[in-house]
Structure 1
Amino acid sequence: MQVLQVQLEVRPDPAEVGRARRWARSRLAGSGIGADESLAETVILLVSELVTNAVVHTGCPAVLRLSLPGVPAEAATVRLEVADASTRAPVPRCAGDDATGGRGLALVDGLADRWGWNADGAGKRIWCELDRCVPPGEASAPTACGSQAPVVCEGLAYEAV
């Protein structure tokens, strides 16, 4: 499968978060993932969370990378990475009801199929992946996302455990 990898340099300025969302939205559309797909909405929310974390918590420039499927109709994985120059590990927090922040990594954990982080040179890279399954009714693959009996809900894959 062909994968398109694109990246955007992000300055340590909160206004960059909106620019990163617009950039990601246009790259998703260019790869055939429509703005009305729940996958696109989820990717944009995750871009917003991870870029915000990089801008707010590190004060350093960052790089946003997207790995997108080359053929829109096939089952594939969208990967999102944000690399920054801070060595400080991401720490999920337990935000209280009245807290105005602290929910970003919980959102990433709840929305992404997989996520993690690793050291990257003098900094770190936080990544997450979302699986995109073949829409119901398309016969291009016998099973979506490699499972025996996949459940497909608005373009996102869920595995019954």
Structure 2
Amino acid sequence: MQVLQVQLEIRPDPAEVGRARRWTRSRLTGSGIEADEPLAETLILLVSELVTNAVVHTGCPAVLRLSLPRGAESDTVRLEVADSSARPPAPRHADGDETNGRGLELVDGLADRWGWNPEGAGKRIWCEVDRCNSGAATGAAYPAYEDFAYEAV
């Protein structure tokens, strides 16, 4: 199995989140994951959440890494964001109308696995999505709703 590993340096600036999403989308297309696949949208959202956390909560530069399998549908896509802050991620539960505090809950709900490890003086937060579990193999992101038409707004 071949794996394409790519990385992007992220400045501690909220505008970098959009740049990370665009960069990721272009790398996914080059790896055989089409832009309209549910897997692509899931990965873009995961990148957005992890990069946002790094930029907003650490104020440090970060590095986004993608490990993209080439070939078999059952391979795993891995995302990592490494930063120089030793402060561990702190999952929160946002109540009601709060506008922050849902990022790691989203990661936990969307990724097949996630965690973090110390890395040098900082840390690396990672998540993995199995292509066979993402709905991409069947074309259905939400199998229970296959017979319904829906629109994301």
TM-score normalized by the length of structure 2: 0.87
Helix, strand or coil: the match of 2:43? helix
**Which residue in the other structure is 1:145 paired with?**
none
| 1:1-161 → structure 2 map (5 Å cutoff) | 1-71=1-71, 73-133=72-132, 153-154=138-139
Distance 1:52 1:133 in 2: 27
Distance 2:127 2:53 in 1: 14
Distance 2:133 2:103 in 1: 29
Query: One-letter code of the match for 1:50?
Result: L
Contact conserved, 2:39 with 2:134, CA < 8 A, in 1?
no
Distance 1:62 1:30 in 2: 23
- Structure 1 outlier segments of 4+, above 4 Å: none
Identical aligned residues as a percent: 77
Q: Quote the RMSD (CA, aligned, Å).
A: 2.0
Distance 2:95 2:7 in 1: 34
CA distance change for structure 1 residues 135 and 114 in 2, over 3 Å: closer, same or farther? closer
CA distance change for structure 1 residues 18 and 135 in 2, over 3 Å: closer, same or farther? closer
Q: Tell me, which stretches of 5 or more residues in structure 1 are unaligned?
A: 137-151
Contact conserved, 2:20 with 2:48, CA < 8 A, in 1?
yes
Helix, strand or coil: the match of 1:92? coil
Q: Cα offset for 1:134?
A: 9.3
Contact conserved, 1:74 with 1:134, CA < 8 A, in 2?
no
Q: Tell me, which stretches of 5 or more residues in structure 2 are unaligned?
A: 144-153
Q: Cα offset for 1:153?
A: 4.8
Q: Deviations over 1:20-51 (max 9, x none)?
A: 00000000000010011100000000000000
Helix, strand or coil: the match of 1:133? helix
Query: One-letter code of the match for 1:34?
Result: E
Query: One-letter code of the match for 1:67?
Result: S
Helix, strand or coil: the match of 1:57? helix
CA distance change for structure 1 residues 61 and 155 in 2, over 3 Å: closer, same or farther? farther
Distance 1:119 1:98 in 2: 33
Contact conserved, 2:38 with 2:134, CA < 8 A, in 1?
no
